[in-house]
Chains A and B, each alone.
Chain A
Amino acid sequence: MTFPSLRHSFCAVLLSLFAGLAAAGEVRLGVLAWLGSEEAEVQWAPLAQALQQRLPGQSIVLRHYDLAGMAAALRAGELEFAVTNPGHYVTLEAETGLTRIATQVGETSQNPAHAVGSAVVVLDRRLDLQRLEDLRGGNLAAVAADAFGGYQLAWAELQRLGLAPEEGNPQPHFTGFPMSRVVDAVLAGEADAGVLRACLLERLEQSGAVAPGRLRVLAQRPADGPCRVTTRLYPGWAFAAAPATDPALSRQVLLALLSMPPDAGGLSWTVPADYHPVHELLRQLRIGPYAFLRETGWDSLWQRYWPWVAGLLMFLLAWGVYTLRVEHLVQRRTRELSSALAERHRLEAQVHAGQQQMDHLSRLSILGELAGTLAHELNQPLATMGNYARSLLRRQQSGTLAPEALTQAAEEIANESERAAGILAGIRAMSRKRSRVREVWDLAELVQAADRLLHGMAPRGPAIVLGELPAAAERQVEVDPLQIQQVLLNLFKNAWDAQQSLGCTTPIEVSLSLVGERCGVAVRDHGPGLTPELRARLFEPFFTTKPDGLGLGLSICKTIIEAHGGELQAWVPPSGPGLIFHFTLPRAPLAVPAPTGSESL
């Protein structure tokens, strides 16, 4: 590919071009000097000449660059047009906005999209090399790493088959230009295979430089031209206009290019091809505009991605810290929870174990509440009996004892002793330690029994009136009768105390009602009532409004009622003074007749 005959005339043109630098119609054409400046001059001068002939008003200036130099010149706006290989064109298109106006076609095919291809040749006698895959482990001669048709196309083909020349499989062996060196390397056995531009082998065979049949094209594929190829075919070199170039000028140049006949090498220009396959190729090889894809070195990655990496690290760090913290919290909470559960179980066990004692204690506490009244009530019959006895003695001694007086005194003494015994009998049952029981009882009967108990202890207690009553079948509750009587007794006592503070003798009203699946009991007094603040604290242990109260009565009542599955509350009556204590108890399943039992209390 040398054009020595043209060198002379080219120099003349060049001189004339330099002379016209300052002219208004200067058109600067940059070409890729891939074999060096001198070769470029030789290769592209005919094109410049042909253009000059066809554009007489313009002065065509040819400039040659290496890959980076052309990009810099385009960015600086120093070129109107550029001619370069497909790979480089695609790179520049992306970098500088260069637009192709024509594509070179030639020997390979007249299809501009199939202008460039490669043949991978081996010595024909190497029978072990039949497929590209057979190059695995061998070495491959090529002109240069950045040669599009001379290396990159074959590289891509190998890569598609899973081979990786960049990792030495096969090991590339770059010979440098001219490409005949590749042929030499293969012929000499220095390389297992060589990469040649399509049609070079044919030309060498034609010229006699290589004996036909000496070299064989590996993995030959059908092509639409006369030459044997191994790789797919790609668009040819591009003739492109810089972004700032006048479209009218571009059009003139295009027309000139299209009108040019094929040159000595059979190359001509035609309508621009689709360079998309080139993009695909470069992306696959991660070169050109996609070179960044292969920048896997830590430094380059760090330079490019450090903010992301730093952000990611920060995030990971934060996430890690968060995870650790969550884990720590979860473990701590779990520990706390399990220790709390253990504590609860322990307490439950303790409470369960102490249930009997607590029942006993609660009964004693209620007795304590009643103790003051009780002492007074027991003192009365004792004092009465004492008075009668002493009186009888005095009369006996003074000889004034009449039979009627004796009868009267004896009767009174007998009555009073029975009364005292009744009071004691009432409390004995309550203070006795009992195991937990559940019996079906008529709630109204329990109210009456508690009433009798109260008046047995305190004959002067206020009347207790049983008002509203549901049907007997609906008043059956499953309870510990003594505990419920305790509660009733306590509520009666409270009601009585409240009324006494006002000197009020209105009967205490008790009413029963159905509340869903439960039976409710309301105990209403006509005492002074309570402020909302006091009412809110009513059921707290050790809270009391009585100067000598323990403050345990109501809290124990609440415990008892809740142990039965009911509720104890204090209400303000809808009208009038006083307070209503209301509790509910679950109703017993129907058709279980109450055992006769109130007598046993």
Chain B
Amino acid sequence: MTTSPDLPVIHVVDDEAPFRRSLLFLLESVSWQAVGHESAEAFLESAPVFPPGGGCLVLDIRMPRVSGLELQRRLKASDTLAASQLPIIFMTGHGDVELAVQAMKDGAVDFLQKPFKDQQFLDTVERAVQLSLERHAASRRHQEAQDSLARLSAREREVARLLALGQANKEVARTLGISENTVHVHRQHVMEKTGTGSAAELARLILRADPAGLD
């Protein structure tokens, strides 16, 4: 099935063909783009991308060979797979509560215990897709922040960090052992290059690029 990257894509991985097909049929009934995979390996081989339109991964927790949990672990460990940011929903059988808890600790966004209602399934998918879009946006902002900070020289990044921490030019000059005048010049360059207008904006940018940037 060809999918449009601008629209969300739902991946369903379940080795039980009739059930997998029924989920795809259900998703298509409410106009989601859905792709079925008969195994974890088949999903990885399809080299899925993180579509700009968002999406999510619905995983059967028990599958022969590579289980759903194992696939989750592989995705988490990988920083090259574009699909690593896709939110994961697990489908569990009766008595798989422990596995489900493990899956949530490992970052799954939700789990559905079979048998589940169609509406419950669709709502969960909806929330996951929404989350994927948020993640997508956050990711984009993070990238932009990193890009703009990357344009600063080392000294300018130093000055920017101190300013973002709320220091006045005079304090910055004293901390760095340079003249207040020089600090003033650096500040102007930082503001220009990052497109920020205040120390507060600068602080947000730094945190967006690196949540530990002001520690």
Instruction: Give residues in A with beta carbon < 8 Å to B.
Output: 372, 375-376, 379-388, 390-392, 394-395, 398, 400, 405, 408-409, 412, 415-416, 460, 503, 505, 548
Q: Write the nearest CB–CB distance from A504 to chain B, whole angstroms.
A: 9
| Bound CA span A272–B21, Å | 140
CB-defined contacts of A505 to chain B, threshold 8 Å: 64-65
CB proximity to A under 8 Å, residues B17-31: 18-19, 21-23, 25-26, 28-31
- B105 proximal to A (CB < 8 A): no
CB-defined contacts of A405 to chain B, threshold 8 Å: 25
Contact sample, A vs B, 12 pairs, CB 8 Å cutoff: A372-B94, A383-B22, A383-B114, A383-B116, A384-B19, A385-B22, A387-B22, A387-B23, A387-B26, A387-B118, A392-B29, A503-B65
- B201 proximal to A (CB < 8 A): no
Partner of A381, one of B18, B64, B94: B18
- When the two chains form their complex, are residues B25 and A383 in contact, meaning their CB atoms are under 8 A apart? no
Query: For the complex, would chain B's binding face be called helix, strand, loop or mixed by DSSP majority?
Result: loop
Interface mask (B94-123 → A, CB under 8 Å = 1, otherwise 0): 110000000000000000001110100000
CB-defined contacts of A395 to chain B, threshold 8 Å: 29
Partner of A380, one of B16, B25, B95: B16
CB-defined contacts of B29 to chain A, threshold 8 Å: 391-392, 394-395, 398, 400
Partner of B64, one of A376, A380, A409, A503: A503
- When the two chains form their complex, are residues B18 and A415 in contact, meaning their CB atoms are under 8 A apart? yes
A409 and B25 contact, Cβ closer than 8 Å, known pairs A372-B95, A375-B94, A503-B64: yes
Q: Write the nearest CB–CB distance from B165 to chain A, whole angstroms.
A: 52
- B93 proximal to A (CB < 8 A): yes
Closest A residue, CB atoms, query B16: A380
Partner of A388, one of B22, B30, B93, B114: B22
- B15 proximal to A (CB < 8 A): yes
| Bound CA span A382–B116, Å | 11
| Bound CA span A386–B18, Å | 12
Closest B residue, CB atoms, query A459: B16
Closest B residue, CB atoms, query A500: B64
CB-defined contacts of B118 to chain A, threshold 8 Å: 386-387, 390-391, 394
Q: Write the nearest CB–CB distance from A113 to chain B, whole angstroms.
A: 120
CB-defined contacts of A408 to chain B, threshold 8 Å: 25
Number of B residues with CB within 8 Å of any CB on chain A: 22
| Bound CA span A400–B65, Å | 38
Closest B residue, CB atoms, query A409: B25
| Bound CA span A82–B28, Å | 151
| Bound CA span A2–B114, Å | 148
- When the two chains form their complex, are residues A388 and B25 in contact, meaning their CB atoms are under 8 A apart? yes
- When the two chains form their complex, are residues A379 and B25 in contact, meaning their CB atoms are under 8 A apart? no
CB-defined contacts of A548 to chain B, threshold 8 Å: 95
Known: A381-B18, A390-B26. 15 other contacts (CB 8 A): A375-B94, A379-B114, A380-B18, A382-B115, A383-B114, A383-B115, A383-B116, A384-B19, A387-B25, A387-B26, A394-B26, A394-B30, A409-B25, A412-B18, A460-B16
| Bound CA span A505–B26, Å | 31
CB proximity to A under 8 Å, residues B23-79: 23, 25-26, 28-31, 64-65
Q: Write the nearest CB–CB distance from B17 to chain A, whole angstroms.
A: 10
CB-defined contacts of B25 to chain A, threshold 8 Å: 387-388, 391, 405, 408-409, 412
Closest A residue, CB atoms, query B19: A384
Partner of A391, one of B22, B65, B94, B116: B22
Closest B residue, CB atoms, query A378: B115
CB-defined contacts of B30 to chain A, threshold 8 Å: 394
Q: Write the nearest CB–CB distance from A69 to chain B, whole angstroms.
A: 119
| Bound CA span A503–B41, Å | 15
- When the two chains form their complex, are residues B26 and A391 in contact, meaning their CB atoms are under 8 A apart? yes
CB-defined contacts of A415 to chain B, threshold 8 Å: 18
| Bound CA span A339–B26, Å | 71
Q: Write the nearest CB–CB distance from A402 to chain B, whole angstroms.
A: 10
Q: Write the nearest CB–CB distance from B70 to chain A, whole angstroms.
A: 9
CB-defined contacts of B22 to chain A, threshold 8 Å: 383-385, 387-388, 391, 412
Ranked 8 nearest A-B pairs via Cβ: A387-B22, A390-B118, A391-B29, A383-B115, A394-B29, A391-B26, A384-B22, A384-B19
CB-defined contacts of B114 to chain A, threshold 8 Å: 379-380, 383
| Bound CA span A548–B16, Å | 24
Q: Write the nearest CB–CB distance from B29 to chain A, whole angstroms.
A: 4
